[in-house]
Amino acid sequence: MSKHQWFKDLRGIISEGILLIDEPLNKYTMTKLGGAADVLAIPGTIEETEAIVRYAYENEIPLLLLGNGSNMVVRDGGVRGIVLHLSKLDAIRVDGNRIHAEAGALIIDVSKRATEESLTGLEFACGIPGSIGGAMAMNAGAYGGEIKDIIYQCTVLTKSGERLVLSKDELELGYRKSIIVSEGYYVLSADFELVEGDQEAILAKVADLTFQRESKQPLEFPSAGSVFKRPPGYFAGKLIQDCGLQGKGCGGAEVSMKHAGFIINKNGATASDYIATINMVKSEVKKQFDVDLELEVKIVGEE
């Protein structure tokens, strides 16, 4: 089947969402990079999401979950198949000391809601620029906290569209990994279990973490956030800094002068520029320190 047939079929599935053909993905990524998706589906409900996943599975069509585009680099050739974007699934509900958040909700917004409700435990996420779905998949963390510390359960879809509710232990959360990634599940929602706290103390902690983030990270430029995982016994940013790579790059992409762990789209970079800069950094760190840097970001799409 052609992408035009997929588009026609999906129009019969999606009534509350949005469906686009040959849609440039640089509109949806934090790096502002990436070619077009054959078909971009933005479902309006969980039921539409399930129907899209089943349609792709039954017709053997490649399906990519884009999330908030904060931890992903889309190549210039774009993505073949269907790209699923869950930005409309963004409901957040509070029940006692638990917060229920749909996959497309931004984790920053969930952290804000926790603060409003005087619930402590999500302060670490006050500056993480990702969706709940991405945060669950990668066990997102910062400033000594991570998702596995506060998760109660997570609802996912299998590749065939079956709905599962996974407990904290069943999620197999580790450093930037989970069963969501290893099994290729699609997150629908997550339930977090927090603790009642003092709102002034929570606000003070959020303010401190926000200051640390804004003073140390190059938020003024598009980027994919921290590009590399922390190597055992090292810090990726320190290794890159010690290699003298800050300010260096390929084309319009550059290793940030503010934080060496970030690669920024400084001046109209292409995805090829960005990926070439990643490879340059990996090569130089290997050469100088004999350390293999592992990507935290995901690279997808066609050359």
Q: How far apart are CA 103 and CA 189, in angstroms?
A: 5
Cα–Cα distance for residue pair 85/8, rounded to 1 Å: 18
Catalytic position from the list 226, 254, 256, 284: 226
Among candidate residues 266, 278, 271, 275, the one with its CA nearest the CA of residue 75 = 271
Active site residue 146: no
Which one is catalytic: 48, 123, 254, 296?
296
Strand 195-196 to strand 223-226: parallel, antiparallel, or no bridges (unpaired)? unpaired
Residue 258 and residue 250 in contact, taking contact as beta carbons nearer than 8 Å:
no
For 117-152, the DSSP string reads: TTEES-GGGTT--SBHHHHHHHT-EETTEEGGGTEE
Q: Starting at the edge strand that comes first in sequence, how are the strands of the sheet with 186-193 ordered?
A: 92-95, 98-102, 186-193, 151-157, 163-167
Which residue's entry shows tokens 């029940």? 95
Spatial separation of the C-alpha atoms in residues 227 and 194, rounded to whole Å: 29
Name the DSSP letter for residue 253: E
Element (H, E) at 212: helix 199-216
- Which position has the token pair 């996943």? 53
75 is catalytic: no
> How far is 19 from 36, CA to CA, in rounded Å?
13
Dist. CA 193–CA 74, nearest whole Å: 34
Burial of 34 (0-12, 13-18, 19+ CB in 10 A): buried
Catalytic residue (one of 176, 223, 256, 284): 176
Active site residue 226: yes
Alpha-carbon distance of 104 to 90, in angstroms, equals: 5
Catalytic residues: 176, 226, 296
